[in-house]
Amino acid sequence: MKDQYAVIGNPVEHSKSPWIHARFAEQTGEPVEYGRILGPLGGFEAAVKTFIASGGRGMNVTVPFKLDAHAFADSLSPRAAAAGAVNTLSFGDDGVRGDNTDGVGLVRDIEANLGVSLKGARILLLGAGGAARGVVLPIFDRQPAALTIVNRTAAKAHELVEQFAARAKESGVRFTGGGAESAEKVRYDVVINATAGSLDAALPECDDAAFGPGTLAYDMMYGPKPTVFMEHAERLGARAADGLGMLVEQAAESFFIWRGVRPDGGAVLRELRQTLAAKA
């Protein structure tokens, strides 16, 4: 009998997680069955408890329940505690464990799939919401030279800098942030769009000087065609990438947490891109 896992969200029918985890199960031979659960708004806890009672071993959590999952977990990984949100739940004899794999997924996609090392890099992170908060520690772990956070509301960027200041010092990373004016007018090695602007075809505030040949412009969003952020960066000479690889790699990290086996995210990403291209 296969072990049961699922993704919970609202909406959830669009989720690619069941397809991704089915590929991981085939690839590794792990006895995993993975489905979707439409969580009722206001009914997250009841839905999770029902899944656990039916024998569920773990869940991925997508919008709008990542904060609910954080509150529901009996214990948190350091990265989930830092992110203030949970996207991976594990159910065991010691209770419910919450983790956040988004940042690891981002880092692995940039380094393993796109071939860009973050060690010693100058990185600009656009946005200071939950998506940005979840990737700061995994970025620090790669030992970049500097990380600058830019946000429309400068106070939110300042809060993040203050929250992670001690860890930045430990990691030897120059960590600064504020409004758009806080970014140096130089070309960055990596510019990451962690805002939701691409959903509305809106560009985040960012000086054009940040982009150029040798810059990787990474949008956490993905879709059937390049985002406005990606197109803007390419016009300025940068290389652009979307967040589909982050989706696959954060799923691979969840799979590893649950099964102790690390699947090949790159192979599944290539297959997923081919599948999506065929549908376009």
Same structural domain, 113 and 93: no
Is 246 annotated as ligand-binding?
no
- The answer on pLDDT for 223 being more than 90 is no
Is 87 annotated as ligand-binding?
yes
Same structural domain, 54 and 134: no
Q: How many CA atoms lie within 13 A of 223 on its CB side?
A: 14
- The answer on pLDDT for 277 being more than 90 is no
- The answer on pLDDT for 95 being more than 90 is yes
pLDDT at 200: 87
What is the crossing angle of helices 17-28 and 265-279, to 10°? 130
- The answer on pLDDT for 278 being more than 90 is no
pLDDT at 261: 98
- The answer on pLDDT for 280 being more than 80 is no
Mean pLDDT of 8-21: 97
DSSP letters, 137-203, are HHHHHT--SEEEEE-SSHHHHHHHHHHTHHHHHHHT-EEEEESGGGS-SS--SEEEE-SSGGGGT-P
Among the options 49, 66, 169, 225, which is catalytic?
66
Same structural domain, 77 and 160: no
Residue 138, domain CATH: 3.40.50.720
Mean pLDDT of 70-81: 96
- The answer on pLDDT for 198 being more than 90 is no
Task: Tell me the residue range of the domain where 174 lies.
Answer: 103-242
What proportion of the chain, given as a percentage, has pLDDT over 90? 90
pLDDT at 97: 98
Tell me the residue ranges of DSSP E strands in 10-87: 32-38, 56-61, 75-76
Number of domains in the chain: 2
**Pairing label, strands 88-92, 95-99:** antiparallel
Same structural domain, 142 and 63: no
Dihedral-angle region of residue 172 (phi above 0 means left; psi in -120 to 50 means alpha; beta otherwise): left
Same structural domain, 130 and 227: yes
Mean pLDDT of 231-258: 98
Same structural domain, 37 and 73: yes
pLDDT grade for 183, boundaries at 50, 70 and 90: confident
Are 45 and 276 in contact by the 8 Å Cβ rule? The answer is no
Same structural domain, 269 and 193: no
- The answer on pLDDT for 224 being more than 90 is no
Is 129 annotated as ligand-binding?
yes
Q: Is the dihedral of CA 253, 161, 76, 59 positive or negative?
A: negative
pLDDT at 279: 81
Q: What confidence tens digit (pLDDT) does each residue in 29-72 have? A: 999 999 999 999 999 999 999 999 999 999 999 999 999 999 99
Q: Which residue has the higher pLDDT, 269 or 224?
A: 269
Is 243 annotated as ligand-binding?
yes
- The answer on pLDDT for 241 being more than 80 is yes
Same structural domain, 118 and 234: yes
Q: What is the pTM of this model?
A: 0.95
Rounded Cα gap, residues 30 and 61, in angstroms: 21
Same structural domain, 164 and 60: no
Rounded Cα gap, residues 5 and 55, in angstroms: 9
pLDDT at 182: 85
Q: How many CB atoms lie within 10 A of CB 162?
A: 11
Q: What confidence tens digit (pLDDT) does each residue in 104-121 have? A: 999 999 999 999 999 999
Question: What DSSP state is assigned to residue 54?
Answer: T
Residue 74, domain CATH: 3.40.50.10860
Same structural domain, 192 and 271: no
The overall average pLDDT reported for the chain is: 96
Same structural domain, 264 and 234: no
66 catalytic per annotation: yes
Same structural domain, 229 and 249: no
